[in-house]
């Protein structure tokens, strides 16, 4: 028997029990399918020329959303033609052009341009949201890290989380005795739950392996938080932040309708009292577009801060 074959037989026998270690690897393999689609597209590029392929891709990318929007506009136009009082797309567009020709005028405190209204709403959302982050994220860390804290917080959170944030408005008015802080308070309540919960879930999911590393290296609590917990939890936290900014923006319209002042929600209410339906429809679009932009900004931030 030659040395080589003897060696081979040995390793085969000896490595028999190690079969169970195989699952450690697949993580790397997940990446592969992406590259196969890329190579499949390559011959296509050569055949039809780069330009045609790009045009095709843009077309494929653009066609469905444009079609969707056109269908939406068509239904809207039909409904408005059949009913009375609901303005159609063209009329709304004209009104929007006029409205945005001078977004930042100030006639008196109750009559300001649409730009001011949007900015004021954004300011409230930003304030309430920032407060929620300052309170919610550290709380999430503590709750996720210590079982005692999580058991302590569980009943309170599960009791309060399903309550509509608007139900907190009267409490806000009562405590702060003013409309603006009460609206900010409502945004705070809206935004704080997703931040607490997502951060806590992230912290509690930190793999035991990493915590074992922390124990074996005897890392200080500060190092554990900055070098292990924070980087691991960042994606979870960003999900929480994204959910809460969406919800906050959703709620601000309703809150402002109730509190008054300058803001997109109050503006909608005002235009309803003026029976200016075009403006209400425009407001719906504004709220939608701003909400979309907010979320997209946060998606970009999230990508920037995830380690993968």
Which residues here bind other proteins, judged by CB under 8 A?
3, 6-7, 10-11, 13-15, 17-18, 20-22, 24-25, 28, 209-210, 212-213, 215-219, 223, 227-228, 231-232, 307-308
User: Cβ 18 to other proteins, closest distance in Å?
Assistant: 5
Closer to other proteins at the Cβ: 76 or 232? 232
User: Cβ 203 to other proteins, closest distance in Å?
Assistant: 15
Residue 42 burial (10 A CB sphere; 0-12, 13-18, 19+): exposed
User: Cβ 32 to other proteins, closest distance in Å?
Assistant: 14
Closer to other proteins at the Cβ: 12 or 50? 12
User: Cβ 11 to other proteins, closest distance in Å?
Assistant: 5
Burial 225-244 (b: 16+ CB within 10 A, else e): eebbbbebbbbbbbbbbbbb
Closer to other proteins at the Cβ: 176 or 210? 210
User: Cβ 233 to other proteins, closest distance in Å?
Assistant: 11
Closer to other proteins at the Cβ: 89 or 231? 231
Closer to other proteins at the Cβ: 20 or 47? 20
């Amino acid at each position: 028997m030659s040395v080589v074959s003897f060696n081979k037989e040995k390793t085969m026998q000896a490595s028999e029990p190690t079969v169970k270690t195989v699952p450690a690897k697949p993580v790397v393999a997940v990446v592969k399918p992406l590259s196969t689609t890329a190579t499949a597209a390559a011959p296509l590029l050569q055949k039809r020329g780069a330009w045609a392929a790009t045009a095709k891709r843009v077309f494929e990318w653009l066609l469905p959303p444009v079609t969707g929007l056109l269908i939406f506009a068509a239904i809207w136009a039909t409904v408005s033609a059949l009913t009375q009082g609901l303005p159609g797309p063209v009329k709304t567009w004209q009104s929007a052009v006029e409205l945005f020709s001078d977004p930042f005028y100030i006639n008196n405190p109750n009559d300001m341009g649409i730009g001011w209204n949007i900015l004021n709403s954004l300011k409230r959302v930003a304030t309430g949201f920032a407060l929620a982050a300052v309170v919610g994220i550290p709380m999430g860390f503590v709750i996720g890290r210590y079982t005692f804290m999580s058991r302590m917080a569980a009943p309170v959170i599960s009791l309060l989380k399903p309550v509509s944030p608007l139900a907190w408005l009267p409490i806000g008015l009562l405590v702060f005795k003013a409309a603006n802080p009460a609206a900010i308070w409502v945004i705070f309540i809206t935004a704080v739950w997703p931040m607490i919960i997502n951060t806590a879930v992230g912290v509690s999911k930190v793999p035991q392996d990493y915590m074992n590393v922390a124990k074996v290296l005897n890392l200080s609590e500060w190092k554990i938080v900055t070098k292990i917990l924070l980087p691991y939890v960042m994606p979870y936290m960003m999900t929480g932040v994204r959910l809460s900014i969406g919800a906050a923006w959703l709620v601000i319209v309703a809150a402002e309708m109730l509190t008054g002042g300058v803001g997109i929600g109050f503006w909608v209410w005002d235009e309803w009292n003026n029976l200016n339906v075009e403006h209400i429809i425009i407001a719906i679009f504004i709220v939608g577009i701003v909400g979309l932009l907010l979320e997209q900004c946060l998606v970009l931030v999230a990508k920037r801060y995830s380690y993968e």
